Amino acid sequence: MDAAIQARIDAWLSGSFDQATKDEILRLQKENPADLADAFYRNLEFGTGGLRGLMGAGTNRMNKYTVGMATQGYANYLNQCFTNGVKVAIAHDSRNNSRFFAETAANVFAANGIMVYLFEELRPTPELSFAIRQLGCQGGVVCTASHNPKEYNGYKAYWDDGSQLVPPHDKNVIKEVDKIASIDDVKWSGGEANIIPVGKELDEQYMDMVKGLSVYPEVIAKHSDMKIVYTSIHGTGIKLVPPVLKKFGFNNVHIVKEQEVPDGNFPTVVYPNPEESEAMNLGLKLAKELDADILCGTDPDADRLAIGIKDNKGEWILMNGNQTAVLAFNYLLEARKTKGIAGPDDMVITTIVTTPMIDAIAAGNQVGCYRVLTGFKWIAAMIREKEGKEKYIIGGEESFGLMIGDQIRDKDGVSAVALLCEMAAYEKEKGRSLYEKLIDLYVQYGLYKEHLISITKKGMDGQAQIAAMMEGYRNNPPQSINGVPVVMLLDYEKQVKKNLQSGGEWKLDLPKSNVLQFVLDDMTIISARPSGTEPKIKFYFSVNDQLNSAAEFEAVNARLDEKIKAVIADMNL
Query: Which residues are part of the catalytic machinery?
Result: 146
Residue 572: count other Cβ atoms within 10 Å of its Cβ. Answer: 5
Structural contact between residues 244 and 417, judged by C-beta atoms closer than 8 angstroms? yes
**Cα 417 from chain centroid?**
15
Q: What is the secondary structure of 128-140 as a DSSP string?
A: HHHHHHHTT-SEE
Instruction: Give the separation between CA 538 and CA 398, rounded to whole angstroms.
Output: 12
Q: In terms of Cα–Cα distance, which of 313, 251, 306 is closest to 280?
A: 306
Bridge partners of 402? Answer: 396
**Closest Cα to residue 427, out of 331, 535, 557?**
331
The answer to whether residues 376 and 403 touch, using CB atoms and an 8 Å cutoff, is yes
Reduced to 3 states (helix: H, G, I; strand: E, B; else coil), residue 15 is: coil
**What is the rounded distance in angstroms from the CA atom of residue 401 to the CA atom of residue 496?**
28
Strands 391-397 and 346-351: parallel
Residue 333: which of 363, 373, 308, 372 has the closest Cα? 363
Cα(378)–Cα(100) distance, rounded to whole angstroms?
30
Residue type, 392: Y
- The span from the CA of 261 to the CA of 239, in Å, is 10
**Length reported for the chain:** 573
* Cα distance between residue 88 and residue 118, in whole Å: 8
Nearest-angstrom CA–CA distance, 284 and 295: 7
Q: How many whole angstroms separate alpha carbon 496 and alpha carbon 217? A: 46
Question: What CA–CA distance (Å, rounded) separates 268 from 272?
Answer: 9
Residues with Cβ within 8 Å of residue 392, at least 6 apart in sequence:
347, 348, 349, 383, 386, 405, 406
Question: Which residue from 513, 460, 494, 398 is spatially nearest to 48, judged by alpha carbons?
Answer: 513
Contacts by 561-569, CB closer than 8 A, 24 or more apart: 561/449, 563/482, 563/524, 564/449, 564/451, 566/482, 567/481, 567/482, 567/524, 567/526, 567/541, 567/543, 568/451, 568/453, 568/539, 568/541, 569/482
Give the span between the Cα atoms of 473 and 57, in whole angstroms: 37
